[in-house]
Chain A
Amino acid sequence: MNFSLYSSQQEENIFIRKQAKTWLRSGLITPDQLGVITDATDPNLRQTNLFFRILFFIFTLLCTGTLVGLFAWLISKGGNTDEMFLAAILIFFSAIYYMAAEYMVSVRRFYRYGIEEALALVAMELFCAGCGWLLSKYGLSNKEITIAVLALVTITASWIYLRFGYLYAALISLIAACFIPFQLSLPPTGERVLLLIILCLIFFLNVIYDKPEIEDFRKERNTTIQADLLIAIYLTVNLHLLSVAGIFLGRASSINLYLKLFPPYIYWLSYILTFMIPALGIYWGIKSRKRLILNASLVLACLTLATNKSYLGLTRYAWDPAILGIMLIGISIIISRWLKRGQDGNRYGFTESNILKPESHGISLSDVAAAFTPNFIDAQQPPSQPGKYFDGGSSGGGGASRDF
C-alpha cells in the first residue's frame, strides 16, 4: 500500500538526478550528459537547495508557532482559560497546518522545500500536545498520559513518514517508540527485553520488505531506517554506554548505571551481543554493500571497544583513547594498502579510490573539528608548578586563556 503524496516515478527521478549530479562532480559524466539525464527525469516537482530549505523550515516554524501562541494568548486574555478549549485550539491548528502541508505538496508540488516540512511537523506536535491535554481531563495518571502521547507521536510521525517520506519523521517515531517500554513500570531487564523485541520486529519487517526489485530510492530509505534500527538495538543492548558518555562529559562518577538490577546472565549476554551486533552489521554491510549499515556497524564496533573495559571491570587509563586511535589508524592504513595493491586498485569490488565526490559547501565538519583542537589542547594542560625550575607561569600554549 502506498500512502505517499509523491508517485514512485517522481521520487525515482529525483534519486536519479541526485546520482547524476554526483557523477558529474566526480568527473564520470560531462555537463551535457547531465543535461540529457535531467531532461529525461523531470519529476514535475518544485525543489530548492539545502540552505533555502533550512531557512524556509526555520521561519515557517517560527511563524506557525507564534501564530498559535498569539491565539492562545488572546483567548486566555479574553478570560477563557478552560484547558479543554485551549487543547481544542491546538488540535484545530494542527488540522489547519496539516491540510496546508498537504496542499503545498499536492497543489503547489513542493518537494523537500522546508515550508511543508515545518507545517507537517508543527501539526504533529500540536496534535499530540492537544490530545495529551485533553487526556489529562479524563483522570488519567501522568504515566498513562505520557504513554498515550508517546504512542501518538509514534503513530503520527510514522504517518508523516509514509505520507511525505521524511526520514527524520521515521526517526522521531522510532525514538518515541523506544521510550514507551520505560514508562511501563517493568523491571530493568523487562524494559530492555520488550524494547529489543519491538525493535527487532520492526527491523525484520523492514528487511523483509526491502526486496531487490524495489526502486532505488526506496532501497536507500530502507537502508537508512535499518541503520537507525541497528543503532537503536545496540543502544538497548549495551549496558555501559552511559559510563563512556560520562567519561567524555567529565561526570563518570555521578552516573549510576543500576547494573546490579540486571541478572548476571543478562549482563553477560549483553556483553556478547555488543560484539555480535557490530560484527554481524559489518558482515552484512560488506555483503550487501550497504554503506550506511557498514558505517553504523563500524562506529558501533568502536563503542564496543570503548565499553569493553567497563564490562570486564578493568581499570581505565588516560591513554586508552590513544591506544584505540592507534588501532583505528593501523587498521585503516592496512585496509587502504591492501585494497590499493589489488588488481586495478580494488579487491572484491572494494576500492580505496575516491570515485564519488561528495558535495562541498566550502567548509566541512572535519574543518570545524580541527578548529576546536587548540581549545582542547589548552584544556588538557597540567597545572604549572611554581618554583620547579623558575617562578610562576600560568599560560596556555596551543590554546588561549580567554573565552569568546
Chain B
Amino acid sequence: MFSEKKLSAKQLSTLQDIHTKSLFSVHRELRFFLYIGILMIVAGTGLTIKQYFTNLGDITIISAMTFCFAASFIYCFIKGAAYARQEVNSPNIAFDYILFFGCAFFSMDIAYIETQFNLLGDFWDNYLLVSSALFLFLAYRFDNRLVLSLALSTIAAWFGFTLSGHRFSFEQYYREYAIAYSLIVLLIGGLLYRLHIKKHFYDIYLNFAAHFLCIALISGVAQYKIFSLYFPGLLLASVALVYYSVKIRKFLYMLYAVIYGYIGISIVIVDQIHGETIFIFSYFILTSMLVIGLIFGISRKFKENE
C-alpha cells in the first residue's frame, strides 16, 4: 500500500511499530488494575465496617468516609474538563475511577448513617433517590459510564430491586415496578439522546431497560401464560428490539430479543402442549431450526463482518 501511495510514511511507521510491538500500549492493563483496586478498597472498607463498627465508632467511620468521597469529588471538580454535550476524554487514566470511588464511598456513608441513625424513618428509601440524582449529575458532568451504571442501579434500588441473584421475586407488585422502571429509564435515555446530550450513554439506558422489561414480562408470562397482556407485551418488546438492532446495526439487541422472545413463546407453547413429550421434542427441534433459518436470512442482509 505504501509503494502504491495508499498509505503515508507516518502511518506506515506507526503501523509497523504496533505490528512488530516496538510500540506496546499497557493502557487497558493499567485501567483494569485501577478498577480492580477501587473495587478491592470498596470491598475491604465494607468488610471492615461490618466487622469492626463497634470498635471504630460512628464518628470515625462517618468522618473517614465523608472525607474520602469529599476529597474525590473536589479532585474531580478541580481536575475535570469543562462540561460538553459530546463525549469528553478523561484528563488522566485514574480520573474515572476516582469519581467512581467517591460515589461508592458516598453510598456507603449514607447507607451507614441511615442504618445506624434511621433519620428518615419509613422514608429511608428517598436517600436512594437523592444518591441516584447526584450520580446522574456526576455521570453527565464528568462523562463517566461507570457512575451512570451506578446511578441507574441505584434508581432500580429505589424502585425496590437489587441486582441480586439470591432470590428472584416475581410477584405482581415487583413486576409492575420493574416495567415502570424500565419505561422510565428508556424515556430518560431517549429524551437525553434526542436532546443530543451525551448520546453515547444511550446504550447503557437501553441495556438496563431491555433486561428489566423483558425479565418482568417473562415472569408475567410464566405466571399467566397466554391469558394476560404480558405475552403480547413481550412479543412487542422483542419485535421493537429486533427493529432497533437492525436499524442501528447493533446486534447485541437482536440477541436479547431472540433469547427473551423465544423463552416467552416457549413457555406459552409448552403450556398449550400439556406435557405431550413428542410434541415438546418436536416443538424445540422445529422452532430452533426456524430461528436458525430466520437469523440466517437476517444476517445475510448485512456485510459478513458487520
Contact = CB atoms under 8 A, between A and B. Distances in A.
B42 A376 contact: yes
Given A328-B36, A336-B93, A352-B93, A318 B25 contact: no
Contacts of B63: none
Contacts of A343: none
A397 interface: yes
Nearest to B250: A362
Interface string B141-177: 0000111111011101110111110111100001000
B48 interface: yes
B285 A67 contact: yes
B221 interface: no
A115 interface: yes
Given A363-B207, A399-B157, A349 B22 contact: yes
Contacts of B298: 52
Interface stretch (A54-62, A122-130, A256-264, A271-279): A54-62
Contacts of A47: 304-305
A339 interface: yes
B40 A321 contact: yes
Interface in B155-206: 156-158, 160-164, 166-169, 174, 178, 203-204, 206
B146 A349 contact: no
B153 A373 contact: yes
A374 B157 contact: yes
Contacts of B149: 367-368, 370-371
Interface string B248-263: 0011101100110000
A349 B281 contact: no
A296 to B, nearest CB: 11
A33 B1 contact: yes
B153 A372 contact: yes
A402 B118 contact: no
A385 B53 CA distance: 11
Interface residues of A, number: 107
B26 A350 contact: yes
A377 interface: yes
A9 interface: no
A26 to B, nearest CB: 9
Contacts of A392: 118, 121
Interface in B97-121: 97, 100, 104, 106-108, 110-118, 121
Contacts of B147: 370
Contact of B116 (A354, A378, A385): A385
Contacts of B40: 321-322, 324-325, 328
A351 interface: yes
Given A332-B30, A356-B25, A381-B111, A62 B284 contact: yes
B146 A336 contact: no
A47 B305 CA distance: 6
A70 B281 contact: yes
A28 to B, nearest CB: 6
B23 A393 contact: no
A397 B116 contact: no
A398 B245 CA distance: 33
B278 interface: yes
Contact of A395 (B114, B166, B250): B114
Contacts of A302: 36
B292 A403 contact: no
Q: What DSSP secondary structure best describes chain B's contact surface?
A: helix
B299 interface: yes
A378 B111 contact: yes
Interface stretch (B76-84, B124-132, B222-230, B232-240): B124-132
Contacts of B35: 366, 369
Nearest to B202: A362
A397 B107 contact: yes
B277 A55 contact: no
A333 B94 CA distance: 7
B108 to A, nearest CB: 5
A263 B28 CA distance: 41
Interface centre among A66, A73, A324 (most CB of B within 10 A): A66
A400 B47 contact: no
B115 A404 contact: no
B151 to A, nearest CB: 9
Given A56-B295, A381-B115, A382-B50, A376 B43 contact: yes
A403 B23 contact: no
A351 B33 contact: no
Nearest to B29: A295
B27 A17 contact: no
B48 A349 contact: no
B111 A28 contact: no
B272 interface: no
Interface in A310-354: 317-329, 331-333, 335-336, 339, 346, 349-354
A389 interface: yes
A369 B11 CA distance: 37
Nearest to A391: B118
A371 B161 CA distance: 12
| Closest CB pairs A-B (n = 8) | A397-B111, A322-B44, A393-B118, A398-B107, A325-B40, A362-B203, A380-B46, A404-B161
25 contacts: A36-B6, A63-B284, A70-B285, A291-B29, A302-B36, A325-B40, A328-B34, A329-B97, A332-B37, A350-B25, A351-B23, A354-B28, A366-B145, A367-B146, A374-B107, A375-B162, A375-B163, A381-B112, A384-B115, A389-B116, A395-B125, A397-B114, A397-B128, A398-B107, A403-B162
